[in-house]
Structure 1
Amino acid sequence: MPGFLARYSGGTLVAMGAMGAEAVVLFAVSQVYAYTQESSVHPVLHVVVLLVLVFVGVPAALGITVGMVLPLTALATWTGKRLRGSDSWWWLPIVAAVACGVLVMAVALPAGAWRGGLWWWAGLTVLVTLPGLAARPALRPEPGHPGLGRAVTLTTLYGTGAVVLTIVGGYVAFFMGLVDA
């Protein structure tokens, strides 16, 4: 049992780190968008909203990780081994797209909002797939596969790179005149 807990706690750590990077990238994009709009909102309010999102977002990310990301990652591994005889990374986006499509359309179709549901479906699929792909190396029990340390290192490097690229891209867009403040 300790191996089971260690394996899934490491996967949870990596998946939540990837979700944190996604959240920071989305926050940076929203800030770039906010600077292109007329607003009477005080800049301090953005910091307050960020703090509230941190305190609400961390438990939400844990719930999404444990409730969706890890089960879909395990289902994708099982599906790949069952259907093709080997596990491949590309099973996760397929399984996540199907599961998220069923979930979103179960809510959107009865409400008559299927067009908006398509956007929610795509967003939820990306939200679940990226942390699942990051957590896959930490969840592999077979010897010879990269473990938790490598998964944490790669998630940290790629997450930091995505955040820096988003922020620098926003500044470059303003500097070059692609968007106006």
Structure 2
Amino acid sequence: MSENTAERVRERAEASEGPPPVWSGRAVAAGAGALYVGAALAVEVYGFAGLAAEAPAQGEGPEGAMLVVPFLTCLGVPSALVANVWLVLPTVSAARWASARLTGRDAWWWVPVMALVPVSAATAVVGISKHLGAGAPAWAWLTGVVLLAGAALIARDAALHGRRLLRVLGYGGLAAVAVFGVGAAAFGTGLVTEYSPPKVNAAGLVGTWSDGHGGILRLSPDGTARADDLKFHCTGTGTWSYAPDGPTAWDQLVLTEFEDCAPDWRISGTPGHPKLNREYGVVDDPHWYTLTR
């Protein structure tokens, strides 16, 4: 008896006894592979999205984002296996239990329904604790739902019908090529425009800049500056200057110097509403402190 025939016989035997168990090696492999592929595709998509989004520093685009792939391979594969065991397969099990209790059968559409629960809870906790606006949590929630629901559906399919890992990796590679092609065409044809900060001059920077929480930076036409309660314990009277540090709008800097601090500011925003930005935090988790007028 051939191996394929034996596999079909085994699957028919399992089917006669009810749905195969979710906690199987093939479900673990397929679910982890789906998480890994989904994360790589998300990195690629967000790389393209970062080119069009307003930012205080120039994004690396999909090319830079794909440099993360080796990191994903080294640490992402073990992380995907752990996330699959602790999150994906429990989601499939919960969906099977709820479906059997409420409908009397194992319906696939319960999987995305159950995926909403942990992702929504995690997004709410992070959004509230970090005091985030609506935009970032919404995108994080959508990404999390797609990743978890997709991986759970593939793990469920592998548990019911057999190995799916090679198929997931193959389709994932084709999807990565398709995403790159669509993104490159969108930017190449001008359908989507890459963001660039507004080009400013010294005269246009004069005025009062605020962080919205009591921090103030006043830039005077004579080159003097006044800081009140800025981050980094920056307060007092000092000087400022505008320093285009290169040929592009990304190279613009506003240099300020006070007795206890000397922050440099990058330009972002729009021509009608420019912003001053200062990076802070650790290298692996940078944040931006922003002033507006």
Q: Please tell me the residue identity of whatever aligns with 2:145.
A: T
What is the deviation of 1:94? 0.6
1:133 to 153, 163, 172: 153
1:96 to 115, 120, 124: 115
1:164 and 1:86 mapped to 2: Cα distance?
38
Structure 2 match to 1:143: none
Structure 2 match to 1:17: 33
What is the deviation of 1:129? 0.7
1:109 and 1:44 mapped to 2: Cα distance?
33
Contact 1:14/1:134 (CA < 8 Å) preserved in 2? yes
Query: Which runs of structure 1 show a deviation greater than 6 angstroms over 4 or more consecutive aligned residues?
Result: 3-6
What is the deviation of 1:173? 1.1
2:170 and 2:66 mapped to 1: Cα distance?
25
1:166 and 1:152 mapped to 2: Cα distance?
21
1:173 to 186, 202, 215: 186
Moved more, 129-138 or 153-162: 153-162
Q: Please tell me the residue identity of whatever aligns with 1:12.
A: V
The 1:82–1:119 alpha-carbon spacing in structure 2 relative to 1, beyond 3 Å, is same
1:163 and 1:27 mapped to 2: Cα distance?
10
1:122 to 130, 139, 142: 142
Structure 2 match to 1:8: 24
Structure 1 match to 2:89: 70
Local SS of the residue matching 1:88 = coil
Contact 1:19/1:61 (CA < 8 Å) preserved in 2? yes
The 1:46–1:71 alpha-carbon spacing in structure 2 relative to 1, beyond 3 Å, is closer
The aligned runs of 1:27-66 (5 Å cut-off) are 27-33=43-49, 39=58, 49-66=68-85
Report the RMSD for the aligned CA atoms in angstroms. 3.3
What is the deviation of 1:91? 0.2
What stretches of structure 2 of length at least 5 have no aligned partner? 1-13, 15-19, 195-293
Structure number with greater Rg is 2
The aligned runs of 1:139-158 (5 Å cut-off) are 139-140=159-160, 146-148=161-163, 151-152=164-165, 154-158=167-171
Contact 1:21/1:162 (CA < 8 Å) preserved in 2? no
Aligned length: 171
What is the deviation of 1:12? 1.3
Structure 1 match to 2:233: none
Contact 1:105/1:114 (CA < 8 Å) preserved in 2? no
Q: Which has the higher helix share?
A: 1
What is the deviation of 1:130? 0.6
Structure 1 match to 2:245: none
What stretches of structure 1 of length at least 5 have no aligned partner? 141-145
Name the TM-score, length of structure 1 as normaliser: 0.75
Moved more, 25-34 or 56-65: 25-34
The 1:74–1:35 alpha-carbon spacing in structure 2 relative to 1, beyond 3 Å, is same
The 1:104–1:46 alpha-carbon spacing in structure 2 relative to 1, beyond 3 Å, is closer
1:79 to 98, 102, 111: 98
Contact 1:36/1:180 (CA < 8 Å) preserved in 2? yes
1:32 and 1:118 mapped to 2: Cα distance?
18
2:59 and 2:158 mapped to 1: Cα distance?
46
1:18 and 1:161 mapped to 2: Cα distance?
14
1:50 and 1:178 mapped to 2: Cα distance?
27
2:113 and 2:24 mapped to 1: Cα distance?
22
The 1:48–1:94 alpha-carbon spacing in structure 2 relative to 1, beyond 3 Å, is closer
